[in-house]
Structure 1
């Protein structure tokens, strides 16, 4: 009996200690968490849920604080899985988004096995959460009374060097010379390494969903400007309006200032007030990432007692927004000849001027509303391809995240088989003209006929069609010479030795351009040799005539 009692006590103690340990990994709404507390928490929770989460840094702040990101996903095969991101605390004295992201990490991880929607979201999406882009500015700020009574408070909107990070990105319309800050540089490198489809930028100081563009060719930091709309304006308005609709008060459109109304709780950035160097414009113009900026509370830095209500107001909207990355189309672009994915292929929806590109795995994503569109793809060495794509209306509740599924349109591109292209060089440095063949490991009849018709051009080189661009930069292609029909050709193969080829006819290299100094030198040489020739011929004749005549007179 004593043994059973002892075992029971041990079990109870273990359960209690485990519960206490797990609870210690959770955070509450009683305070804002400083950099050290945030770091400890992020390490603990990603360690606890290491099977679906990881912690990494995209760089350091101005004074050396890590810019921590939590990555969440339970997808086992990441091919075709979209990446999204949420960034908080861009302005140091606007930390509501910082705390909301910390609680979002906790909520998703603790509910992944309890909530079907969250479980599906983590299985089909890679979510990157950056709680604080500006940890230095946060440490220099303190909560304010709400509304502020005008008293002096400790507050830093910018980073440690007082730079506004949301005015620090490259601008698509007006070049500016503001020094690039470490935090901005980290975001830019982050975006270059991960193909983000969607993004949220979390701010505070008003209550509205703001969509691009923020600037224009005549950007001025003033209010009541005209709209400046992107080619994807319908999709941006939809995303912004959906978020506002899921928020209990944002959709009402009442600004925190008495003299401003936001219809449906959304606004075009340039129409509200124009700025230069915003992060959301950079996301969209440079990377095709659909970012909207959220103003989440009227108070920039409200006391901690307001945090839980802000969390409750924004959670449904956040979950709904994240699911929208699966709205529209996605697919993989491949080459028919090799079956390999094509990276950096350029795609665009016809009648829209912006473009987006495939990843290193040939993947693409495009958020689109229901409708029929023409999708055009271009890639080096391949014929342009245009496909008709359709995004059907959703059945049931249109805004239900569970109803959102992408249409898959994989694109297979044909190699170019059109006219010859002159002025191409292979690794031997000589000049060639491309001629297409029908494949195989030899020059075909069409290629031989082309060679025969090329008069004195008897040396040919055969190059794989999909290696054509590589062949122009030595020494990537592998050249091997062979005899064929009185000429010499070479096969450029890949690492697998495949010989699907295009014929290349050797051209006479162009005559080098002659400079004025070279021409002068040639003239001097001609004068010298002329003088030498005349002298060499006439001197003996004159000498002989002089000698004989002189002797005769003697």
Structure 2
């Protein structure tokens, strides 16, 4: 069915595999956009479902959602606008080995876990509990999804489950509220209220009338929601879509009717907030830069512009904000009293001026660390080549941390024993010592 979508709508839909599972099944994603052969700098959005293999309502609803978007393009004005303005990715089935545990012809033998007996929603790096919070190696499915996230700059996503009915927003791992908690309450309230207007009484009315903070419900470590928010600055929430995990086929049309308008509302949110392009003032070339809301950000909530277009998307609740734009080697710029209205876009294009260095001083950014400042127990380091030793020094030269990546170019670094303050993190790349300043909150 997935590849048939591509065959029927080749100009709008590209179906591809991000990898295969332990039992050889493909993890399929449908990309839907108006120019599927190009990258236009549009916000990237992801819906994914059924990482617990026996929670299948979202699986079927996402197949129908793909069909709905493709068949509505060109005839339904709202659907056409969403496909024109958003780079949409939909993965209906994130754990096919669990769903088809009983065989490829039936889902009635479905299990929660993958083929190795691991709960995939406890298997992701966690900002508080580290790279392997469940004590297991990263599973094949986890690695494929982590690589997929690295290759993209998802602005928003949602991760669908079953077993209850609620919009679960960050954080799951700790009690601290997200910097954008008021935005999360707003978008989840919009989702649930729209459902209530189209569903019978009792559907998605538990908890706080259909929404909940994850930690206040129950805390988990290793969930994908917190991984995406903390390590990828992607706004992801967990959508529990049906009390019964494996609902009868006869109930699927009703659940579609309850939810499809909310699917559209949530996806549409990635077009709002503050957005624009960040470029070099002299050349006009797009650059990657940090977008930081002053007196607001915490726990990796700030975002970055991305290439090739230099586009950024900072989703914010209605208010006034001061926003700083910065990049190493450039003078930063701060814009005060930036006005944000709900369900509207504030466009703020920015040109950064390069600092003139001595001609022999290198400007290339050889590695990145984020979040920085870091408030959790772990930060992520990513370099443009394999890394050996990682060392962290205090500002008075004291060695505070030493570890080794084992030759990879990505590492999760434990900073839980560092006191609040400023540090220098050093790595060796291509025989040369390079360093960056990091701040521990």
Q: TM-score, normalised by structure 1?
A: 0.61
Look up the match of 1:469: 363
Distance 2:267 2:27 in 1: 22
Question: In structure 1, the residue corresponding to 2:58 is in which secondary structure?
Answer: helix
1:358 aligns with 2:301: no
Distance 2:163 2:292 in 1: 36
- Picking from 141, 147, 162, the partner of 1:189 is 147
Look up the match of 1:158: 113
Distance 1:97 1:389 in 2: 41
More strand by share: 2
Cα 1:80–1:360 change in 2 (3 A) is closer
Distance 1:348 1:141 in 2: 49
Look up the match of 1:119: 80
2:180 and 2:317 in contact (8 A); partners too? no
- Picking from 372, 375, 378, the partner of 2:320 is 372
1:255 and 1:262 in contact (8 A); partners too? no
- Picking from 259, 267, 282, the partner of 2:227 is 282
**How many positions carry a matched residue from both structures?**
355
Look up the match of 2:258: 313
Q: Which has the higher contact order (CA 8 A, sep 6+)?
A: 2
Instruction: Give 1:390 shift.
Output: 2.7
1:347 and 1:378 in contact (8 A); partners too? yes
> Greater CA deviation, 173-182 or 270-279?
173-182
2:319 and 2:339 in contact (8 A); partners too? yes
Cα 1:265–1:249 change in 2 (3 A) is farther
- Picking from 246, 250, 261, the partner of 1:301 is 246
Instruction: Give 1:75 shift.
Output: 4.5
Cα 1:336–1:136 change in 2 (3 A) is same
Instruction: Give 1:254 shift.
Output: 5.9
Describe the superposition over 1:391-441 as per-residue Cα deviations: whole angstroms up to 9, x where unpaired: 4436xxxxxxxxx44221111112225xxxxxxxxxxxxxxxx65xxxxxx
Instruction: Give 1:347 shift.
Output: 2.0
Distance 1:313 1:270 in 2: 26
Describe the superposition over 1:272-329 as per-residue Cα deviations: whole angstroms up to 9, x where unpaired: 0100100010110011110111111110111211111111111111111111111101
The 5 Å alignment of 1:145-544 reads 154-175=109-130, 176=133, 177-216=135-174, 227-248=175-196, 261-343=206-288, 345-351=289-295, 352-353=297-298, 354=300, 355-361=302-308, 362-388=310-336, 390-393=338-341, 404-416=343-355, 462-463=359-360, 468-470=362-364
Distance 2:119 2:178 in 1: 24
Distance 2:198 2:221 in 1: 26
Cα 1:254–1:308 change in 2 (3 A) is closer
Distance 1:470 1:233 in 2: 36
Distance 2:209 2:339 in 1: 25
Describe the superposition over 1:465-501 as per-residue Cα deviations: whole angstroms up to 9, x where unpaired: xx7424999xxxxxxxxxxxxxxxxxxxxxxxxxxxx
Question: In structure 1, the residue corresponding to 2:189 is in which secondary structure?
Answer: helix
More helix by share: 1
Larger Rg: 1
Instruction: Give 1:337 shift.
Output: 2.8
Cα 1:328–1:298 change in 2 (3 A) is same
Distance 2:157 2:335 in 1: 28
Look up the match of 2:14: 54
Q: TM-score, normalised by structure 2?
A: 0.75
**Structure 2: gaps of 5 or more residues:** 368-441
Look up the match of 2:370: none
2:191 and 2:265 in contact (8 A); partners too? yes
Question: In structure 2, the residue corresponding to 1:199 is in which secondary structure?
Answer: strand
